[in-house]
A and B are shown apart, each in its own frame.
Chain A
Amino acid sequence: MSTQTESMKRGPAGLTPAPLGRHASAHLSRHRVAYLYLLPALILVVGVIYAGVGYNGWVSTLDWNGISPTPRSVGLGQYGKALGDPIVWSALWHTGVFAVLTILVQMALGLLMALVLTVPVRFANLYRVLMFVPVVMAPAAVSSAFRAILQPDGQVNAVLDALGLGGLGQAWLADPSLALISLAGINIWQWTGFSFILYQAALSQIDASVVEAAQMDGASPWRLVRSVVVPQLSGTHATLAITGLIGALKTFDLVYLTTGGGPARSTEFLTTYIYEQTVDRFNAGYGAALSMILLVLAMALTIAQMAAYRFGRK
């Protein structure tokens, strides 16, 4: 303990500010105490994430149930199997459809609500709370609720009946041609509040003089929004697109608790397929290979989006 305190006293605790990424110079090596402060976070992240991904990479080269003492090496065989597995391709297709639907609708509704609330409106804070409460709720609770609400004899169909639109009633989650769209609808319900709050924050940062100048020039509200406001929100659009894409790739609770990937695998996602292969079917090797594909997709999408965003800002 005393030696540790001594070394901490010698460590000058970095009193000169320097931007991250400045090249390490010779005097930096004296500040070894810094590593002690990093240790807990490093152990955690390296021990779980890096070791996990590394181990996962090794398991993905095996034909193994995760228990047997004699796993069989199959090289890249599991990846070949994945590329030839139609369920993998349809899962990727579902994720893409789900991502496009949810991102576009959430952005449009969130922006609309943020714009409308720049006008003084009654109950504005109540509306804000109603839209943000779903964001803080557990996806497990939201999914279970909608599973009941969207039953053929559930509340959504009851409301349609009451409005004289009973003909529009559907088996929302049991019809293979509708189930994926219904899942997108649930996701939109849960996450539009997130887009709304982000747009509201971004709108408050917009230079008011630009907007006033456009209004002086007689720009219509629609033209004002389209040509002046929307372009200034490009950072928020990019953020919502990235978080939406990664969110779609990560989607698990929602599917697991509503359709379980069905009916007839019409809502299978890569995540639910990985869970099934690993936990229900004991195909650790195949599950690991699918996990690596999920990870590579998440990384590639993030890098591509960040590059597009930087390019767009230039």
Chain B
Amino acid sequence: MIGTRSTRRSRLIAQLVATVVVIPFAFPLVTILVTSFGGEGAVANYAAVISETPFLRFALNSLVIAVGTVALVYACTMSAGYAFAKMQFRGKSLLFNAILVGLILPTLAIIVPIFITVQRLGLFSNPIAVIVPLSATLVPFTLLLARNYLVGIPDEILEAARVDGATSFGTLIRIVIPLSAPISAVVVVWAFLQAWNDLFLPLLILQDEDARAITQVPLYFTSQYGSDVPKIFASLVLLSLPIVIAYLALQKLFERGLTAGAVK
């Protein structure tokens, strides 16, 4: 675009500016990695995190929460997205907008009801108590994405399925979902990322040490090890690694997914 008529001089300037801007962004990443290899040494630090702390336990708990959240969000999203995109019914616009209002809710604004409900039902330290409110705050966004995508599926294909005797549910499972792979991937990546990275709900709800989430690792470390910075950084690397690797492998998908709601 702007660079179509670039000269050697403008390329040089661009290279220089880009490098200067990127250095402060790269510096903390490099620092975290290098520091995590310091102290008693890389092997000792990482081995200590994995074997001497409940790190793997926390990771497993987060995996359970993330998978549960992805499943609940995906089921609600595709089912409702299908109805909003491809069916006519009374109150459609009202119901759609009623769900979209949830987009602006800061989860923290319902801390009191969540806290009291969890207390009444005795659900402290139960992953379901994290999965349900987390999913409720994610569905408005994923539904908006899915509905906009599903509207684009040609009606002729659904009509053909109906003529062949497919039920509406059969059409959803055998036709709509297979045709929605791109948006499904975005919904799954988005929900997984949000669940894995969330701190607020686990902090509020998962109080038993055995039940904690991976984002609570830094707090656990600070309380157990004080300021053993190399080990803390090793735990941060391990906490970020699955997501960063997934991002590097699926770069376009992550960038599209994370900015999808913003590109209109």
Q: Within 8 Å of chain B (Cβ to Cβ): is A9? A: yes
Q: Within 8 Å of chain A (Cβ to Cβ): is B24? A: yes
Contact segment of B47-55, B128-136, B179-187: B128-136
CB nearest to B11 among chain A residues: A119
Report whether A34 and B89 are in contact in the complex, using a CB–CB cutoff of 8 Å: yes
Q: What separation, in Å, do the CA atoms of A271 and B243 have in the docked complex?
A: 26
Q: What separation, in Å, do the CA atoms of A292 and B109 have in the docked complex?
A: 7
Chain A facing B: main interface SS: helix
Q: Within 8 Å of chain B (Cβ to Cβ): is A204? A: yes
Contact segment of A36-44, A96-104, A165-173, A174-182: A36-44
Report whether A59 and B155 are in contact in the complex, using a CB–CB cutoff of 8 Å: no
CB nearest to A185 among chain B residues: B24
Q: What separation, in Å, do the CA atoms of A45 and B137 have in the docked complex?
A: 8
Chain B facing A: main interface SS: helix
Q: Which residues of A contact B168 (CB under 8 A)?
A: 8, 11, 13, 33
Which residues of A from 267 to 282 have beta carbons under 8 Å from B? 271, 274-275, 278-279
Report whether A118 and B3 are in contact in the complex, using a CB–CB cutoff of 8 Å: yes
Q: Within 8 Å of chain B (Cβ to Cβ): is A92? A: no
Q: What separation, in Å, do the CA atoms of A32 and B240 have in the docked complex?
A: 46
Report whether A109 and B87 are in contact in the complex, using a CB–CB cutoff of 8 Å: no
Total interface residues in chain A, CB < 8 Å? 122
* A112-B21, A113-B18, A121-B18 known; A42 vs B99 contact (CB < 8 Å): yes
* A15-B162, A137-B240, A298-B104 known; A37 vs B79 contact (CB < 8 Å): yes
Which residues of B from 5 to 29 have beta carbons under 8 Å from A? 5-6, 10-11, 14-15, 17-19, 21-22, 24-29
Q: Within 8 Å of chain B (Cβ to Cβ): is A243? A: yes
In-complex Cβ contact of A13 among B21, B84, B87, B193 (8 A): B87
Report whether B200 and A253 are in contact in the complex, using a CB–CB cutoff of 8 Å: yes
Of the A-B pairs whose beta carbons lie under 8 Å apart in the complex, a sample of 12, sorted by A's number, is: A12-B162, A29-B90, A34-B92, A37-B87, A41-B139, A49-B136, A118-B2, A119-B3, A137-B197, A137-B240, A138-B239, A288-B112
Q: Which residues of A contact B158 (CB under 8 A)?
A: 13, 15
Q: Within 8 Å of chain A (Cβ to Cβ): is B4? A: yes
Q: What separation, in Å, do the CA atoms of A118 and B6 have in the docked complex?
A: 9
CB nearest to B159 among chain A residues: A15
Q: Within 8 Å of chain B (Cβ to Cβ): is A76? A: no
Report whether A257 and B218 are in contact in the complex, using a CB–CB cutoff of 8 Å: yes
Q: Within 8 Å of chain A (Cβ to Cβ): is B88? A: yes
Which residues of A from 139 to 178 have beta carbons under 8 Å from B? 139-141, 143-146, 148-149, 155, 159
Q: Which residues of A contact B (CB under 8 A)?
A: 5, 8-9, 11-18, 20-22, 24, 27-29, 31-35, 37-38, 40-42, 44-49, 51-53, 55-56, 59, 66-67, 109, 112-113, 115-122, 124, 127, 129-141, 143-146, 148-149, 155, 159, 189, 192-194, 197-198, 201-204, 206, 208, 211-212, 215, 221, 224-225, 229, 235-236, 239-240, 243, 246, 249-250, 252-253, 256-257, 271, 274-275, 278-279, 284, 287-288, 291-292, 294-295, 298-299, 302
Report whether A121 and B151 are in contact in the complex, using a CB–CB cutoff of 8 Å: no
Q: Which residues of A contact B26 (CB under 8 A)?
A: 130
A297 shortest CB reach to chain B, Å:
9
Report whether B108 and A144 are in contact in the complex, using a CB–CB cutoff of 8 Å: no
Q: What separation, in Å, do the CA atoms of A312 and B168 have in the docked complex?
A: 43
Q: What separation, in Å, do the CA atoms of A27 and B98 have in the docked complex?
A: 23
Report whether A120 and B6 are in contact in the complex, using a CB–CB cutoff of 8 Å: yes
Q: Which residues of B contact A138 (CB under 8 A)?
A: 196-197, 199, 214-215, 239-240, 243
